[in-house]
Amino acid sequence: MLRRDLLRHATFATTAGGVLATTTLPQALAQSRSNTLLILVEAGPNSLDIHAPGANRPTQALVWATFDRLMGFADTTLPQGHKMYDYFHLTPELAESWVLSPDGTFIDFTLKQTKFHSGNPVTSADVKWSLDRAVTLPGFPKNQMNSGSMFEPAQFEVLDERRIRVHWKNPDKLLLPNLSNAIPNIFDSELLKAHATAADPWAVEYARANNCGGGAFKVAAWRPGQETILERFADWKGGPQTNVQRIIIREVPSAATRRALIERGDADVLADLPPKDFSELIAARRATVFSTPMANAWRFLGMNTQKKPFDDKHVRQAIAWAVPYEDIFKAALFERGRKLWGATGAPADLSWPSPSPYSTNLDKARALLAEAGYPNGFETTFHLDISQATLHEPIGLLLQEGLAKIGIRVTLEKVPAGQLRGQLANKQLPFFVEDFGAWFNDPDYFFFIAYHGSNGPWNSANYVSAEMTSLIDRARLERDSAQYEQMVRRIFAIAFEDVPFIPLVQPFQDVAVKNGVTGHRYVFHRQLEYRFFQKP
């Protein structure tokens, strides 16, 4: 299966060759003229470089628009009429073409003749420097590249000015997708080298705050906490050009203000609203709302498997049987998602996420608590993100009420988003609610990120299982499809048996656009795709 999937990715390419809360209505309208797109967000990017330590999720959307990669993902059309990326087909972006070696040990890319925003030409030396940077800088970028068996600069070889070779350490099916995501951005290396220092050889501090790519849009202004302004790069050759000349990404902390602006037609696009607001927007039909189930993603309850009492799987199972799923789905989530509980048999296929076998059954929950030695329950603290309090607090309150019925006394603690992410990454929290999604639509990849015993930053449950880790490692390289399916089904079974995470829903990405605005595309990082919106 690995070889087939690897070739499936390669063959297609070879043949395809706070501030706005006081903004007045006239100001908002002035920013929405015919060639300018006004996008409202709750929080904007905290960096212009995704490799910078602490870069947030909005940075992913920004770099996707302002940098090129060698490849991108093709499109497929969804029933609502908007586009979604096609994980299994890759298309040229900065690369003109690529060819896989007959023995599958390397791939050669030929670059288009193009240039960066600075006017510097894009060469294979820039590509190598950028890929070297991605596998060298510690943290998220390096870990992501490693997941595609790209470990060291020696794997990237300049052949001539327009050709570069990528060597495989392993015949890894995730290598090509990892060259197509938001990490291997191609930097203007001459520009960054001019701002590098002995202490910062990759010019991270400069790239964090300065435009240094060659993507569809260039950064004209960046005012953290206020707005980011992008201008279309007329010489971009990575895809079709939009009629939008300017994008204003305006930060509006108030959900009520964001909703009012889109309802009045004063803004063009927004994605950051609580489920209740989207539910009401859909009913009112005051904007077009596109709803896409987030691929390979879920909203869940997590328990730290290395902290008492959650180190006992019977306790975790008891909680899974006590969660008031329907109440949470209706009263907290307003049915904005796909249910992930109540399965009556094994998953029908290898799609993930798949519903768990748990549902609300207090008798089973009490019996399991007693078996674990907690017949009278216990006390614990449940942590939630204060920046998502309109969503997470109702979940916490309903959970608090439901678990009280089996004797578990829950105290809710709201934590700032940055602090919460750090505590989750460091495996400090006992019990929490979180959202998580893996970039690639391979189930074993999801488990590699969230369940692997290497305890990466997204294994917030601090879960360790020797059998699970072994299966994940073997599945990534398994070539036989029947063996692969057997491994993945066993992975699913262990996940439901050990239940370090309790799935609630597969969330929708809800995006509201002003009537007449087109070009919405759902992409793997679950942030907005800025490049292809069109104004009427």
Rounded Cα gap, residues 479 and 474, in angstroms: 10
State the pLDDT confidence band at 329, using cuts at 50, 70 and 90: very high
| 449 within 8 A of 403, measured Cβ to Cβ | no
Per-residue model confidence (pLDDT) at position 13: 38
Neighbouring C-beta atoms of residue 24, cutoff 10 Å: 9
Of 389, 434, 382, 391, nearest to 413 by C-alpha is 382
Q: Write the single-letter amino acid at 217.
A: F
The reply to whether CATH 2.160.10.10 applies to domain 2-253+514-522 is no
Could you give the C-alpha distances from 309 to 111, 273, 306, 470, in angstroms and in order? 56, 35, 9, 26
Half-sphere exposure of 519 (CA within 13 A, CB side): 18
In this structure, what token pair is assigned to residue 51? 């490799």
Rounded Cα gap, residues 511 and 287, in angstroms: 10
Rounded Cα gap, residues 503 and 352, in angstroms: 11
| Residue spans of alpha helices (H) in 264-361 | 275-284, 313-322, 325-327
DSSP string, 395-436: HHHHHHHHHHTTT-EEEEEEE-HHHHHHHHHTT--SEEEEEE
pLDDT tens across 381-406, in order?
Answer: 999 988 788 889 999 999 999 999 99
In this structure, what token pair is assigned to residue 329? 């789905």
| 420 within 8 A of 383, measured Cβ to Cβ | yes
User: Average pLDDT over the chain, rounded to whole?
Assistant: 91
DSSP string, 189-218: HHHHHTT--SS-TT-HHHHHHS----SSEE
DSSP string, 12-61: HHHH---GGGG--HHHHHHTT-TTEEEEEESS--S-S-TTSTT--HHHHH
- Average the pLDDT over 180-193 and give the result: 97
- Average the pLDDT over 86-100 and give the result: 94
DSSP string, 336-377: -EEE-----SS-SSS-SS---S----HHHHHHHHHHTT-TT-
In this structure, what token pair is assigned to residue 386? 């204060």
Q: Is 88 helix (H, G, I), strand (E, B) or coil?
A: strand
Per-residue model confidence (pLDDT) at position 293: 93
322 pLDDT above the threshold of 90: yes
pLDDT tens across 354-383, in order?
Answer: 999 999 999 999 999 999 999 999 999 999
Specify the range with the lowest mean pLDDT, choosing from 2-6, 14-18, 94-98, 282-286: 14-18
- Angle at 331 (CA atoms; ends 423, 353), nearest 5 degrees: 60
453 pLDDT above the threshold of 90: no
421 pLDDT above the threshold of 60: yes
Rounded Cα gap, residues 320 and 347, in angstroms: 18
Per-residue model confidence (pLDDT) at position 410: 97
| 369 within 8 A of 377, measured Cβ to Cβ | yes
Q: Looking at the DSSP assignment, which residues form a beta bridge with residue 99?
A: 108
Residue spans of the domains in the chain: they are 2-253+514-522, 297-508
| 443 within 8 A of 491, measured Cβ to Cβ | yes
Q: What is the chain's percent helix, strand, coil content, to nearest 5?
A: 35, 25, 45
Rounded Cα gap, residues 46 and 463, in angstroms: 30
In this structure, what token pair is assigned to residue 44? 């904007």
Per-residue model confidence (pLDDT) at position 457: 76
* DSSP one-letter code for 384: E
Neighbouring C-beta atoms of residue 305, cutoff 10 Å: 22
Q: Is 220 helix (H, G, I), strand (E, B) or coil?
A: strand
In this structure, what token pair is assigned to residue 61? 């959307």
CA 25 from chain centre, in angstroms, equals 33
Rounded Cα gap, residues 296 and 299, in angstroms: 11
Our CA dihedral for 442, 446, 452, 457, rounded to 10 degrees, sits at: 140
pLDDT tens across 3-33, in order?
Answer: 334 444 444 333 333 222 333 334 444 444 6
State the CATH architecture for 297-508: Roll (3.10)
CA 358 from chain centre, in angstroms, equals 26
pLDDT tens across 227-259, in order?
Answer: 999 999 999 999 999 999 999 999 998 999 999
Could you give the C-alpha distances from 476 to 1, 147, 172, 178, 473, in angstroms and in order? 10, 9, 7, 14, 6
Per-residue model confidence (pLDDT) at position 169: 81
Q: In angstroms, how far is the first alpha carbon of the chain from the final one?
A: 45
Of 64, 61, 49, nearest to 192 by C-alpha is 49
pLDDT tens across 126-180, in order?
Answer: 999 999 999 999 988 998 998 888 999 999 999 999 999 999 887 788 899 999 9
Q: How many residues does the chain have?
A: 536
